[in-house]
């Protein structure tokens, strides 16, 4: 575990039980496993940055309106819905939500000074075609692709037990967790389940990657007049 | 490619001072969740990519009366191509509505089948308050016991500047362009399910995630 991943774990240990109620984090209190879970890729010549930030404060922030910390929103890797509040990412995920820009805001900005929505507009803010306002909500396919006929009635559905199937892919939160898991760990991540997330299995990966991104991009955020949540080491 | 929703980050490494360098390897592998995991779904890294089982995105939202779920997969793709209905893939939308947020109280399972040439059907099981499975042809709205299901080919609903993201990772400078949408003009396959809210609501919190699995093992 790197120093920063330890800090991330410490943050999770402090905040996750509050945010997630019944969960316990098996990794809490265990700092003895120093085996880095992420293989180091072959170095590619590139200018290195000297920035060195600590992202603990970012992960410990509460996302306004959700009652969740950033760490609690990412771990476990599920879409979280509070039915008592209005729908819209990160409270669930609607088709129209600009999830990438909101995510960037949430993981990089000081949410006491900047709105999580402040980076909306970096990327396109809407789909290229309009969504339907009624079920099934998704827009019709573009172009003139061949479509299945709709007259079948006796379909040959498999009847095998679920145990006969082997996991290929999983997904909960858009971008965040998948983006924050290194290439060498993606297979293990997709084989895992939210219980593994909650046990802290991938916390070092998340912390390491977020730190790297912050070190690279913090200067850009400051140049735009924004307040990064990370603190210099 | 795990693009959509799995952003093309694919970062690795642990050195803090070298973090910028480490942003470079793996770029171009993924995006949102399209082509993720690369070792199983990305043609660049797998000679037998499992495109049908490649999740693009999971959406879930609520209204005063409904919970709506949309699982998109096998995309994005050109608008000349047909949908993907693979009978050997088991799609899951896993919902926790009580107790531990990591336990699945409502395991919704989705399968596809065929009835002759170019006649495909969908089977949805596990929805509370529905007697038996919901089955019927794709490309049409199926209604049973108050639940609506429609599987079919759709526009890819995700919007994001993938190229800008890759450029950002490669340079360490924010390089997004709000007028560049990698997913524009592309389609994918999806299943949309609308469920009366009282079938799902037990407390105020829901945790939802999607999974795919292939019969007999990975390709």
> Parallel, antiparallel, or unpaired for β B205-215 and B89-96?
antiparallel
**pLDDT computed for residue A178 by the predictor:** 67
Residue A47: list chain B partners with CB under 8 A: 20
Strands (E) located in chain B: 2-3, 33-35, 55-62, 66-77, 89-96, 106-114, 120-125, 134-137, 142-144, 147-155, 187-196, 205-215
Residues of B in contact with A164 (CB under 8 A): 215-216
Contact B101 A137 (CB under 8 A): no
Helices (H), chain A: 3-20, 56-60, 70-74, 99-108, 176-179, 186-191, 194-198, 203-223
Does residue B133 contact residue A155 with C-beta atoms inside 8 Å? no
Residues A213 and B173 sit within 8 Å (Cβ to Cβ): no
Give the residue, B135 or A182, on which the prediction is more confident: B135
Pairing state between β B120-125 and B106-114? antiparallel
For residue range B155-200, what is the model confidence (pLDDT) as tens digits? 999 999 999 998 998 899 999 999 999 999 999 999 999 999 999 9
Contacts of A99 in chain B (CB under 8 A): 5
Q: What is the mean pLDDT of chain B?
A: 87
Quick check: B134 and B146 in contact, CB under 8 A? no
Mean pLDDT within B66-78: 97
How is residue B92 written in tokens?
């899951």
User: Smallest Cα–Cα separation from A71: which of A56, A93, A92?
Assistant: A56
The token duo for B38 is 């690369």
Write the pLDDT tens digit of every residue in A66-113: 889 999 999 999 999 999 999 999 999 999 999 999 999 999 999 999
Q: Is the pLDDT of residue B5 over 70?
A: no
Identify which of A36, A171, A179 has the shortest CB distance to residue B58: A171
Residues linked to residue A91 through DSSP beta bridges, in sequence order: A88
Place A61 in a pLDDT band, splitting at 50, 70 and 90: very high
B106 touches B200 (CB < 8 A): yes
Q: Which comes out higher in pLDDT, residue A39 or B165? A: B165
- Name the minimum distance, in Å, from the CA of A215 to any CA of chain B: 7
Residues 80-119 of B with CB under 8 A from A: 80-83, 85, 87-90, 96, 99-103, 109, 111-116, 118-119
CA B122 to CA B137: how far, in whole Å?
Answer: 6
For chain B, the maximum distance between any two Cα atoms, rounded to a whole number of angstroms, is 60
Q: Which tens digits make up the pLDDT trace of B31-48?
A: 567 778 888 888 888 888
CA distances from A205 to A61, B67, B213 (A): 19, 32, 24
Q: Are A43 and A37 in contact (CB under 8 A)?
A: no
- Helix crossing, A99-108 with A203-223: angle to 10°? 90
């Amino acid at each position: 575990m790197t120093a920063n991943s330890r800090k991330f774990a410490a943050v999770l240990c402090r905040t996750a039980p509050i945010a997630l109620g019944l969960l316990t984090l098996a990794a809490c209190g265990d700092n003895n496993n120093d085996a880095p879970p992420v293989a180091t890729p072959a170095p590619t010549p590139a200018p290195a940055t000297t920035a060195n930030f600590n992202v603990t404060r970012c992960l410990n922030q509460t996302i306004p309106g959700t009652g969740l910390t950033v760490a609690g929103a990412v771990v476990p890797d599920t879409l979280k819905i509070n039915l008592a509040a209005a729908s819209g990412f990160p409270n669930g995920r609607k088709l129209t939500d600009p999830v990438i820009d909101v995510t960037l805001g949430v993981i990089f900005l000081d949410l006491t000074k900047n709105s999580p929505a402040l980076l909306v507009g970096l990327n396109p803010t809407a789909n290229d075609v309009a969504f339907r306002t009624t079920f099934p909500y998704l827009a019709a396919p573009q172009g003139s692709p061949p479509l299945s006929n709709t007259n079948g009635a006796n379909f040959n559905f498999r009847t095998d037990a679920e145990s006969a199937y082997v996991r290929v892919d999983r997904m909960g939160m858009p971008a965040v967790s998948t983006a924050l898991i290194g290439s060498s760990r993606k297979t293990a991540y997709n084989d895992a389940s939210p219980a593994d997330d909650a046990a802290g299995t991938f916390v070092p990966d998340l912390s390491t990657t977020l730190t790297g991104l912050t070190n690279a991009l913090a200067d850009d955020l400051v140049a735009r007049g924004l307040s990064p949540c990370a603190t210099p080491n | 490619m795990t693009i959509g929703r799995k952003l093309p980050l694919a970062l690795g490494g642990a050195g803090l001072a070298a973090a910028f360098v480490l942003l470079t390897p793996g770029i171009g592998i993924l995006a949102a969740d399209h082509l993720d995991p690369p070792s199983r779904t990305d043609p660049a890294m797998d000679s037998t990519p499992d495109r049908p089982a490649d999740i693009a995105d999971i959406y879930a939202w609520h209204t005063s009366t409904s919970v709506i779920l949309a699982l998109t997969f096998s995309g994005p793709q050109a608008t000349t191509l047909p949908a993907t209905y693979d009978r050997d893939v088991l799609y899951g939308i896993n919902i926790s509505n009580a107790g531990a947020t990591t336990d699945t109280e409502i395991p919704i399972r989705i399968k596809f089948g065929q009835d002759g040439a170019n006649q495909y059907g969908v089977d949805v099981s596990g929805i509370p308050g529905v007697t038996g499975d919901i089955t019927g042809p794709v490309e049409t709205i199926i209604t049973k016991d108050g639940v609506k299901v429609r599987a079919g080919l759709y526009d890819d609903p995700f919007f994001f500047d993938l190229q800008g993201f890759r450029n950002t990772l490669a340079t360490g400078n924010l390089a997004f362009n709000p007028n560049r949408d990698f997913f524009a003009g592309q389609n994918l396959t999806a299943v949309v399910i609308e469920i009366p809210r009282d079938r799902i609501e037990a407390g105020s919190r829901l945790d939802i995630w999607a999974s795919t699995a292939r019969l007999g093992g990975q390709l």
